[in-house]
Structure 1
Amino acid sequence: MVPPSKRDPSMDADLNEADQLEVLLNKDGFKTWGFVIYRCTYLNNSDWEKFIARFLGAVPDYLEFYSGLDLLDTFAPTVLEDPSFEGATIATLREHFKQWAKASLKEEQGVAEDYYARTGAMESILSAPEEFEDEAGFVRMVHAEWQPEVLDEEDIANGDVSEPEEPLEGCTEHDVGWMNMRWSIIELPGFHKLRDIDDWQAYYARPPAIGDIL
């Protein structure tokens, strides 16, 4: 029998996003939570500030719904800004994130440097008017551990090769290692549901489609 949520007894614990996030933090030994956000556009500071306010402002609403506002005390997303990120490829951002993660895990989270969190980097954009932003607005979410598929001679000989799809940054595989994800659900549901490659594949939508976490 599933125990009730300690935050909201009317809800099962495994359905309470705040409870599940707390379990995840305790399991990983993390002190804070939140994705790493890469700023990849520098044309308009006002638009960027507006986006960040909307993006991070969605988190309290989710936490309040799950009676989990206590978790705001440990919500600490990282925003990385550098003009050199302007126009950077996904591969460049992924490599930068890997190096950043190795250096910061011990300092920020108090865990070993060889621990590798299955998180991602995001290139964010404003893509819809405010009244439609929740349906159409999205961020670009990157899987930090993705690698291109390597086929061996047996696969090729047996014809176990997928049909190539339209190239995205030169990649013709179905899973290109990044996806557009509805922005408002990234931080809370996304942080604990997109944990490993199986989770990624369960929610993956090849761009230009916009993925969702249901």
Structure 2
Amino acid sequence: MVPMTRNLLFRPQTLTFSVWNLKFSTRQSAIPLTGIKRPSLKRQDFTQEYQIQRMTSDHSASLHEKALAALARLRSGDQPRNPSERTPDRSSTSNTADRLEKALNEAGFQSWGFPIYRCTYRSDSDWAEFLRRYRWHVADSLKHVNGLDLLESFKITVFENQALFEAMGNNCYSGVSPDMLVFANVEAARYRFCLFIDEESLQSVLQAPLEDCFNKNAFVNMLNGWWKVESLNDHDPEDLEDDELEAIRLELNSHDPIEGYTVKDVGWMKVALCGAGLEGFSKMGEHGEWDRYYERPSEICHYL
């Protein structure tokens, strides 16, 4: 178990929880986003068949059989490189459970899953049903990759404080201290991102059919704990022409205000329910994925 002490520091319109005394491996965590694509073998068929015919020119029955077997394997497709123990017909890099397990081991973590902030308190039964459905979707995703063994290390950590979180709503910003994570060359989704559930997102999940994972209306809110608002101070005037600075100034004010922010990235986005579990956690552990998948509210990110 990773030693950890978490302190909650509450500030006006800002929720910060810092992670201290973490011990990490110094090895780089890398979770490939996609499986290995194998090139088509059609162009190689003629060459391989010609070579096999040369091998069988002595009419040796045993050699001929071996050559035909080799050609059959060639035409049926390659066997996966480093096959997954969970799904032997696929490589381990194309199995999300394998990639997640590898990343957890390399980073020294023993649990996974986004922390959840409860920001609605109208109904305890609705909240319990939301958590049940969320866990069901995570388990269903693991089942498809034969990874139900990882359900034991999946932790739903819920933060509840009606007086604070309900009043703050979407302003329930969470800042996770990145210091130790950066030092360890690891960006861990569990300590960088969290989910916050308001009444709108709660009802969107409850109103969707349970087994409809790809329902476009069911979503949760994902928050980037390392976010800070972009400003002109992030750009060096000496490196830019006047017209370039003006273009940046216009870009920073080109969107309708969300909680007073007119920049594109306001630090949180709506994520489809199916993207807030196994796949989303695996992807968001990689550097730069927030920028890649970010959708400004009220759009919903359906691609995690």
Pick the TM interval, shorter chain. Answer: 0.7 to 0.9
Contact 2:187/2:285 (<8 A) preserved? no
Q: Give the Cα separation in 2 of the matches to 1:196 and 1:15.
A: 16
Aligned to 1:87: 167
Q: Please tell me whether residue 201 in structure 1 is matched to residue 291 in structure 2.
A: yes
Question: By how many angstroms is 1:89 displaced?
Answer: 5.1
How many equivalent pairs are there? 203
Query: What's 2:137 paired with?
Result: 58
User: 1:169 is matched with which residue?
Assistant: 259
Structure 1 unpaired stretches of 5+: 106-111
Distance 1:92 1:54, change over 3 A: closer
When normalised by structure 1's length, the TM-score is 0.83
Within the candidate set 71, 75, 85, 2:154 is matched to 75
| Structure 1 residues 32-51: aligned runs within 5 Å | 32-51=111-130
Query: Given the superposition, is the C-alpha separation of residues 58 and 92 from structure 1 closer, same or farther in structure 2, using an over 3 Å criterion?
Result: closer
Q: Structure 1 64/23 Cα, relative in aligned 2: closer, same or farther at 3 Å?
A: same
Corresponding position: 1:187 with 2:265? no
Alignment correspondent of 1:141: 222
CA distance in 1, matches of 2:167, 2:273: 20
Aligned to 2:75: none
Structure 1 residues 147 and 89: alpha-carbon distance in aligned structure 2, compared to 1, 3 A threshold: farther
RMSD: 2.7
Report SS of the residue matched to 1:140.
Answer: strand
Aligned partner letter, 2:278: L
CA distance 1:209–1:197, change in 2 (3 Å): farther
Corresponding residue for residue 203 of structure 2: 126
- State the SS of the aligned residue for 1:180: strand
CA distance in 1, matches of 2:232, 2:187: 26
SS in 1 for 2:204: coil
TM-superposition CA deviations, 1:119-175 (whole Å, max 9, x none)? 312122221523286411100000110111121462583324115201111111111
Distance (Å, rounded) in 1 between the aligned partners of 2:241 and 2:285? 31
> Quick one: which amino acid aligns to residue 272 of structure 2?
R
| Deviations 1:10-52 (CA, angstroms, capped at 9, x unpaired) | 1222221100110110121101111100000011111111111
Is the 1:93–1:121 contact (alpha carbons within 8 Å) kept by the matching residues of 2?
no
Provide the TM-score with structure 2 as the length reference: 0.60
Larger Rg computed on CA atoms? 2
1:30 aligned partner: 109
Amino acid paired to 1:123: F
**Distance of 2:286 and 2:96 partners within structure 1:** 18
Alignment of 1:106-121 (within 5 A): 117-118=188-189, 119-121=192-194
Report the more deviating stretch, 154-163 or 24-33: 154-163
Structure 1 residues 92, 58: CA separation in 2 closer, same or farther (over 3 Å shift)? closer
Q: Distance in 1 between matches of 2:117 and 2:276?
A: 14
CA contact (8 A) 2:196 2:221 kept: yes
Distance 2:187 2:208 in 1: 36
Indicate the residue corresponding to 2:64 in structure 1: none
For structure 2, the 5+ residue unaligned runs are: 1-35, 37-80
1:14 corresponds to: 93
Paired residues of 1:185 and 1:213 also in contact (CA < 8 A): yes
Shift of 1:196: 4.6
Counterparts of 1:197 and 1:7, CA distance in 2: 26
Q: Which moved more, 1:81-90 or 1:51-60?
A: 81-90
The alpha-carbon distance between structure 1 residues 50 and 123, as it changes in their structure 2 partners (threshold 3 A), is: same
Percent pairwise identity: 34
Counterpart of 1:142, as a letter, is L
